[in-house]
Amino acid sequence: MTKIAKGKRPVYLDNPQVDKLLAIVMALTGEVSVLHERLDTIERLLEVKGILLPTEIEAYEPDGKVTKEREQWRAEYIARVLRVVQEELETLKQS
């Protein structure tokens, strides 16, 4: 369940649209940073334990089920990232 902040979104720059874009970029930056660190940890542990080599990761080909799961995750992720834009569209529709 996604938490949604109450009240007006703060404006830090002269243009509220630029603020929204900045919020999107910062959300992406946070997500990518966490994912990168976790993935790096997993890959290092797998290599140290002799379970998996980095070349095996590069050569991996997902099957249909994995591809569908990834597509669903990607759609949900994009929706979270673009939440600011979606909220704006919903506000405009209600006006």
How does pLDDT run across 35-46, given as a tens digit for each residue? 999 999 999 999
Question: Which two three-digit tokens encode residue 19?
Answer: 């603020």
Distance of alpha carbon 23 from alpha carbon 27, whole angstroms? 6
Q: Which helix (H) or strand (E) holds 54?
A: helix 54-59
Residues 57-66 have pLDDT tens digits of: 999 999 999 9
- Positions of the chain with pLDDT under 50: none
Model pTM? Answer: 0.61
Per-residue pLDDT at 71: 97
41 to 12, 37, 44, 49: CA distances (angstroms)? 35, 6, 5, 12
